[in-house]
Structure 1
Amino acid sequence: MENINLIPLLDYIDPAFCPYQEWINVGMALKLEGYSVSDWDAWSLRDAGRYHAGECETKWKTFDDSGSNLVTGATIVDMAKHNGWTASTGPDIAFGWDDVIQEKDEQVIIDQNWIEGKELVSPGDNWKPEKDLIKYLSTLFDSTDYVGYVTSSWEKDGKFLPNKGNFKRTAGELIEELTVCDGDIGAVLGDYKPEVGAWIRFNPLDGKGVRNENVTDFRYALVESDSMELEKQNEIIRKLELPVACLVYSGGKSIHAIVHIDAGNYDEYRKRVDYLYAICRKNGLDIDQQNRNPSRLSRMPGVLRNGRKQYLIDTNIGKSSFSEWREWIEAVNDDLPDQENLKDVWNDLPPLSPSLIEGVLRKGHKMMLAGPSKAGKSFALIEMAIAIAEGRKWLNWYCSQGRVLYVNLELDRPSCLHRFKDVYTALGWPANNIGNIDIWELRGKSIPMDKLAPKLIRRAAKKNYTAIIIDPIYKIITGDENSADQMAHFCNQFDKVCTELNCAVIYCHHHSKGAQGAKRSMDRASGSGVFARDADALLDMIQLETDQVGLPGTAWRIEGTLREFKPFKPLNVWFEYPIHKLDETGELEKLTPDCDKVPWQKGQETQRKRKEAKKAQLESAYNACLINGTVTVSDMAEYMDTSERSVRRYLKDDDTFEFANGIVTKKQGGIRTDAEIVRNE
């Protein structure tokens, strides 16, 4: 896999924890990426219980790298990530310009620059080894628990390895015998080689074996590092507040921390150990990744190893349980500011952020423009971008001059650029400050906002933008827009951009489907109400219906919901392509949109529309039937595809027509049609 050395990543993957298929996948991935079978074999050897010499080589020969379902190095990367590997702890990687650089890890709580080491206090000449072991057993086990331990060993390639050992004695039996052994541990457990030492399993067994399936209670996990100074291991374990039941010096290069896991089953044990190891690794404890399995052997306190004492350093340190420790880890490094007392700042309040759009939006705040399709929202945002760049008025509000980034997610590049020029031309403004406008063309390249935000922040870091305009946001929504919690996460990305770049974020969203009549302005935007309530300023556009014909554009009312300023009087505008213009006549102010009409007004409006439609239908039918010379009720009924009775009712309700003896005529003073003029002349 390009740019990544996979071998160090294998340290994060314990073969003892891998099901058979995962073990095979690692081998297939190594072969495809050009590694040797010896790499796979060396890794597999870490699971001594299942390892069989020659098995890797046999399987390796069956792997075919020409199929369509290839297992690549990405599989190993994903497995390592799951177990705590990150780019910052792993090997160097060449990042591309658009790669997302991970933010500060909130689970890192120890600054490695300040770790000096905590000295271990070795027991003196009065050391009572059996007391160490008794305390160890009574701390970890119930009296009826079967304990696995090993005092005999065998040699391979100059290294002594433990045998299977004993697993049929209870902690109570061992403690009872150790209490009266007069310091002779060998008399209780069996003699061990002083140059090798002895081992013990930290989880209770069923008395039938020493494999993972023989573990009866998943209480503890082993944390061990043999590549760091002992003093640094000791300090990090304590600073991390690991829920350590027993802390043991191995007599060699490492400290063995027996850590509370308290899992209900093997699956939960695996997940909790993965989390534990990931936190340790992130905080500088370079732990042995092979020690994950619950039946693992650890060094037994109370014995000698090559002239050094394997002794109990401490018991019950750090947090009292795994759950308490995990909650502490998640909370201790939240990077939140401290509380402040109002009295301390009462007479020295910080200045408010200056206005970006006068009376509407402050610099560094968030604004959403919402409206239905065909409202010209994108044009309105382009008008705003130009107004900020030029330091001029947008609609009815003055804008502070500054640099603007317009993030175009919807239009192709030529259309977007032409729109800017068309709007400049329609506004009649000289393009004196077009250097203040940057456009980021992302049509077809948009990604979810939680991925876009760090890229945006990195690219805009030194541009000193006053405002970033994102049009439209439905292209980058993260999650379900109707989910409040997912949309809260989505909107938090805008806060990050505002905070990191010290600029305003302005974005565009559409109305939900269906009639908006009964909704308030802040409830018309599609999706969760989080949208409207998150923004510091919400401008909402709703169409006004006019009776006039031949108008140059459509009529709109802009309402606002503001957090920082007092409400403004709704703004009435015409959208005359490609710009919005204020209604200078005052005619639009007289109109009431459906959402503001009371029920009786809506009823009257409905009746009026029905009457106008019926009148138009009668006019059409009458004019069509004039071709016969005389218009009859029967002719009009046939044309309108209804009954004569209905036509008579319609005519009776209309003030334009009259009828007698089945003949229909227009009342005196009515407008004569061309057909009537011809007939009468």
Structure 2
Amino acid sequence: MHLPLKNPETDEYSYNHFFKWPFEREQVIEHIDRYSGNFEVYCTPGMFTSQSSNVIDSHGSYVAWADFDGNVPSLEDMSEMGVPHPTLRVQSSLPGREHWYWRYNQFNTDVASIQGINKAIAYALQADIGAWDAGHSLRPVGSQNHKNSAPVVILSANSYSYAVEDFATVPVPQLSYDLEQFHREQIPNPVKTMLKHGPWPDDAQDLFTKYKMEKGLRSSALTRVAYTCCEQGLDNSEVYSMLQWIDKRWGKFRDRTDKERYYVDLINFARQKHPYQGIKDVTILADEIQTFNFMEVLEFTDNTEWIINGLLPKKGTGFLVGRSGTGKTTMGIGLAAALALGREYLEWKSSEEDQKYKILFLSLEMLVEHVNDFFRKLALNFSPDELKTLAENFHTYAQPEKIKLYQPTSVLMGKFLRKLENMKPDILLIDSASYSLASNLSNQEEVTKSMEVLDMIKDKYGCTVLFIHHTRKDPPGHGYREADLDDMFGSAFIAAAASTIISLKQHKDYSDSNRMMNVRYLKSRHSGDNSGFTAIMDGERRVFRRPAMGALPASTKAVPEQKKEAEKQSTVDTGKSFFSY
């Protein structure tokens, strides 16, 4: 934990004060006692993996927290916003200036949830929104607030402790502005902004033109600036320009390297009460939409990078679809395992020769005991060296809790994103879309939200996503028919958002002794409509293989010319592994 000091005479900080909690508890108490007489002492509620208070080095926290600058909420306010009763209330100087802490029932290592809970509490209870990040420091009990000549004391304490789920009732802030938007915009001149949106109330003009703001009042005063600007009809970039201009004089966040984040947070905080009603002057935007003239379109070069050329693009979204029992999971895992080993699978080959991809398999339909049974059969197809490579490159999530992309602020989602951050998989295999995209796949709103989250994941972590997905049952009495896009279960937006859709369906000559399946490309960049190939499923070894051409029924031998060469190659037995089928 970090306990920095500040000289109240010079405002200079001394940062190199770190302690291992709880092993150095006595040293922490001694540090506070030794320096409180002459210095402002601070303490981070969060813990760190090294001697750094940077969020990127955060390890976790025993508590959630909030900082109030004179606007302490009532019990009714807390109840209305769904915030549990705090475990500890600390008065940090004058009455009304308090720090609140909620003790977790176990050490919380999920930094995303720590910051998410702190932020939700701050927004709900109108606390200081500059205090929610995992690296923030507060005044510890037993120290002295020299600015107000007041001790930091405990107001109340109890034995309450909370699970992360106990904060689920606290409203999640709906953010209207983020740093990415800020970096895309041209921040306007604040003086011109003031003139443009005048006349202003007298108290607003007095606030905006105040040269200095007393320390301890700056945070709440900047919040008032944000509220006033939003109420007056300024857009987000205009509010930002006002906050930045005023804080250059007041100095609350001015000298911080992450000041942009605080100004954006102030805007989002104010937008909870005063949502933006629309851009009044589009010329504030830095860029216009990009367009191409006719010849530029004709001369356009496709620079798409591929995992499987023409079929599975990098940062793409693919679907492997079929009815229950057709072997979707077998084929999906087989393809993913082949890519993890840098091998061919059926007629599919990586565009990057010998490239071994990292795979994260989200098994949302099978728990680990069922996946174990599946993998034991699959492992019969691999050599010892291949199994070692899979141990390194192929990871599986198979827990009862389902990762729901349409709930992007859930605690489990935060843990999932942390896994992506640490592992950086190339391919995310999800079984199945039914569990991850929506509570009901006909729910357009949830599906759309999931696809937006997916786009963020693919862009930020650079991974390709392949879903295993169900199709509708064939209507009775209609005989055999080839698969098409209308077979996909759920919202039509799912198929529209996909870059690749591969169908797996029983061949019309399918039998228990000849488990022949038609593999069809329902949507891909370079394959013809409904082109594909035939494969045979071996349920005992959990693999698919290509049949020899002489073993195919006559109806299956007419395949597109571009597939014939692949079929020839796929029947060559190299003797290396099951990928040589």
TM class, shorter-chain normalised?
Answer: 0.5 to 0.7
Q: Write the deviation string for residues 66-105 of structure 1: whole angstroms up to 9, x where unpaired.
A: xxxxxxxx99986753577686x34444799999999986
- For residue 374 of structure 1, the aligned residue among 308, 320, 325 is 325
Which residue of 2 is the match for residue 481 of structure 1?
441
Q: Give 2:490's match in structure 1, choosing from 527, 542, 564.
A: 527
Give the AA of the match of 1:376.
Answer: G
Distance 1:28 1:428, change over 3 A: closer
Q: Which residue of 1 aligns with 2:63?
A: 2
Which residue of the partner structure matches residue 469 of structure 1? 429
Q: How much identity, in percent, do the aligned residues show?
A: 12
Which of 390, 397, 400 pairs up with 1:434?
A: 390
1:22 has 2:104 as partner = no
Matches within 5 A, 1:515-594: 515=475, 520-546=483-509, 551=513, 554-567=515-528, 569-577=531-539, 578-584=542-548, 585-588=550-553, 590=555
1:327 correspondence with 2:282: no
Q: Paired residue for 1:176? A: none
Give 1:481 deviation, angstroms. Answer: 1.0
Shift, 1:508, TM fit:
0.6
Q: Show the counterpart of 1:422.
A: 377
State the distance in 2 between where 1:385 and 1:77 align. Answer: 38
Distance 1:284 1:442, change over 3 A: same
Q: How far is the alpha carbon of 1:478 from its aligned partner?
A: 3.1
SS in 2 for 1:523: helix
Q: CA deviation at 1:471?
A: 1.6
Rounded to whole Å, the distance in 1 between the matches of 2:68 and 2:456 is 36
Select 2:401's aligned residue among 441, 445, 463.
445
Q: TM-score, normalised by structure 2?
A: 0.52
Equivalent runs, 1:231-250 vs 2, <5 Å = 242-243=232-233
User: 1:372-403 CA deviation, whole Å, 9 max, x = no partner?
Assistant: 11112111111101211222222222234332
Aligned to 1:386: 337
What is the aligned counterpart of 1:360 among 303, 311, 322? 311
Cα distance, 1:228–1:425 mapped onto 2, change above 3 Å: farther
Aligned to 1:505: 465
> In the TM superposition, what is the alpha-carbon distance from 1:410 to its structure 2 partner?
2.7
Shift of the alpha carbon at 1:458? 3.8
Q: Measure the CA separation in 1 of the matches of 2:369 and 2:336.
A: 18
Distance in 1 separating the partners of 2:504 and 2:484: 8
- 8 Å CA contact retained: 1:25, 1:75: no
Residue from 350, 357, 364 that aligns with 1:403:
357
For residue 279 of structure 2, what is the amino acid of its counterpart? Answer: W
**Residue 465 of structure 1: how far off its partner (Å):** 3.2
Structure 2 counterpart of 1:590, one-letter code: S
Query: SS in structure 1 opposite 2:429?
Result: strand
User: Per-residue deviation at 1:505?
Assistant: 0.9
Shift in CA distance, 26/375, structure 1 to aligned 2, threshold 3 Å: closer
1:59 is matched with: none
Match of 1:666 in 2: none
Q: Name the amino acid aligned to 2:449.
A: H
Q: Which amino acid aligns with 2:555?
A: K
Number of aligned residue pairs: 395
Give the SS at the match of 2:358.
strand
**What displacement does 1:482 show?**
0.5
Q: Distance in 2 between matches of 1:559 and 1:421?
A: 28
Amino acid at match of 1:81: Y
The 3-state SS of whatever aligns with 2:279 is helix
Whether the 8 Å contact between 2:226 and 2:270 is mirrored in structure 1 is no
Alpha-carbon distance, 1:537 to partner: 0.8
Counterparts in 2 of 1:388 and 1:542: CA distance versus 1, 3 Å: same
Structure with the greater alpha carbon radius of gyration: 1
Q: Aligned-pair distance for 1:590?
A: 2.6
Distance 1:512 1:328 in 2: 44
Structure 1: 5+ residue stretches without partners: 16-20, 44-73, 122-135, 141-198, 203-221, 245-254, 256-278, 293-321, 593-681
Letter in 1 for 2:325: K
Residue of structure 2 in register with 1:629 after alignment: none
Equivalences for 1:574-653 in 2 at 5 Å? 574-577=536-539, 578-584=542-548, 585-588=550-553, 590=555
Q: Following the alignment from structure 2 to structure 1, what is the Cα–Cα distance between the partners of residues 434 and 554?
A: 32
1:466-492 CA distance string (max 9 Å, x none): 322112222222343102343122222
RMSD of aligned Cα (Å): 5.8
Q: What residue identity is the alignment partner of 1:3?
A: A
- For residues 77 and 456 of structure 1, the distance between their equivalents in structure 2, rounded to whole angstroms, comes to 19
**Alpha-carbon deviations, 1:410-459, whole Å to 9, x = none?**
32325425534532423779617325523132421223114366654443
Gapped runs of 5+ residues in structure 2?
1-61, 98-115, 137-162, 214-220, 235-245, 247-260, 558-581
